[in-house]
Amino acid sequence: MPSPASVIGNCKVEFDYDLFVIGAGSGGVRASRISSGLGAKVAIAEEFRVGGTCVIRGCVPKKLLVYASHFSEDFEDAAAYGWTVGETSHSWKTLIHNKDKEIDRLNGIYHNILDNNNVTLYQARATIVDKNTVRVGEETVTAKYILIATGGAPVMPDVPGIEHAISSNEAFHLEEFPKRVIVVGGGYIAVEFAGIFNGLGADVTQLYRSTQILRGFDADIQMFLSEEIRKKGIDLRTHSNPAKIEKTDSGLKVTLEDGDVLETDAILYATGRKPNTDNLGLENVGVELKENGAVKVTPESQTTVDNIYAIGDVTDRIALTPVAIHEGMAFAETVFGNRLRAMDHENVPSAVFSQPQVGTVGLTEAEAREKFGEVDIYKSQFRPMKMTLTGGTEQAFVKLIVDPKTDIVVGVHIVGADAAEIIQSVGIALKCKATKAQFDATVGVHPSLAEEIVTMREKFVAA
């Protein structure tokens, strides 16, 4: 393949690559693959493991741990369905070993994707030297375009004793299963890990600094999920935050801001993530950052330097793997496919793998009221059929938000088993701007939780 070249001023400049991607996570790998398919000569740098947060220490291992933790409840429920389960016990070591094997397998698949698409992998940290030059390990390479896809990393507040705390990164590799766990935070990661440790048998206390967990979610979902997770045995405390953490002979002593003292074996901070933009050399070339350190980009993911682009969590638009992948594909088509394309960040469905799950797409009620003034609300809370024999107290919740002027459904929020699976298809309906009348004209699948979405007829009227 001839060397990629560009005309700068009157000179023809030759580069080692058309594209140099920094960060081999979901977004970076997808952008590399598609760009290569469109004829670009591509290289990618990764300082840790190919696959990125989602595959190596995020969505994938997290979901495997969620599966593991659900069995305890399933064993209990099984008795009401006639099963004799006998004594059960759980081996954390086996779970972590099997999870690691699966992550190794996926890591191998990601390597193959790069190999099969002729993407050169540099297994080293890369920094930007100038707008066309990257230092990677001991080498210096040039590229016509640079794509920053470096993701984010957990942040922990500056609390005395924070060195005794772990983040989600370490939670996946604990040597021993902690019998008592404190989880700090009320976002996706905190809620998911509180559920994982609780299901696996730990005594879990979740501390949230403000009033309602899951900031930004619909208020009904926040309230409903809080109740459900408390019913499962998680000691969820709001307006509660650690003031200091001390190591003791029997574990950790955590003093809260209100003076309360808790003993625990592990304290997990899930207090947000920050974009990985430190020491990348961005200041060398004038790539501007937002106040929180995220890279500023146009809708087409172009930074303030014309040949440097950025996608995924490092841009802090919507920090979800499938969003990074879409942004990566849009980047490749824009730059190498000659088709200007911006990812559409509206109506992105997402799920929290809490127990029970949350599935959500579109606007919350508060956002819809702000945008449309009046809105129609449909809500349903009910006992899932599985609970009828077990006597379990778990409830499910479905909420629809409709713009009354157009009849378009602008938000759907679900709490219940398989909410993640359900919300995916509802996302298509919202993308198509489906109306409430079209939801109503859709025949329900019976008996299912999902049928509630198409069978609610009575508007909710506040008492």
| Interface ranges with ligand NDP (CB under 6 A) | 157, 184-190, 192, 208-210, 215, 241, 270-273, 319-320, 350-353
Give residue number: closest CB to ligand NDP.
Answer: 187
Give least dist CB 169 to ligand NDP, A.
Answer: 11
Give least dist CB 216 to ligand NDP, A.
Answer: 8
CB nearer to ligand NDP: pick between 212 and 380: 212
The DSSP code sequence of 156-182 is ----TTGGG-B-HHHHTT-SS--SEEE
Q: What span, in angstroms and rounded, lies between the C-alpha atoms of 40 and 119?
A: 9
Q: Are strands 273-275 and 350-352 parallel, antiparallel or unpaired?
A: unpaired
* Tokens at 450, concatenated: 């999902």
What letter would DSSP give residue 74? H
Give least dist CB 152 to ligand NDP, A.
Answer: 7
Give the side-chain half-sphere CA count within 13 A for 401.
25
C-alpha 42: how far from chain center: 27
Looking at residue 353, its amino acid is F
CB nearer to ligand NDP: pick between 44 and 270: 270
CB nearer to ligand NDP: pick between 141 and 166: 166
CB nearer to ligand NDP: pick between 336 and 353: 353
Q: What span, in angstroms and rounded, lies between the C-alpha atoms of 277 and 289?
A: 9
Placement of tokens 């350190």 in the chain = 293
Give least dist CB 457 to ligand NDP, A.
Answer: 31
CB nearer to ligand NDP: pick between 234 and 270: 270
Is residue 446 annotated as a catalytic residue, yes or no? Answer: yes
Give least dist CB 301 to ligand NDP, A.
Answer: 18
What letter would DSSP give residue 27? H
Give least dist CB 439 to ligand NDP, A.
Answer: 25
- State whether residue 401 is helix, strand or coil: strand
Phi and psi of 227, rounded to 5°?
-65, -45
Closest CA to 341 of 331, 351, 349, 350: 331
Neighbours of 193 (CB within 10 A): 26
CB nearer to ligand NDP: pick between 239 and 383: 239
Q: Which residues are catalytic?
A: 446
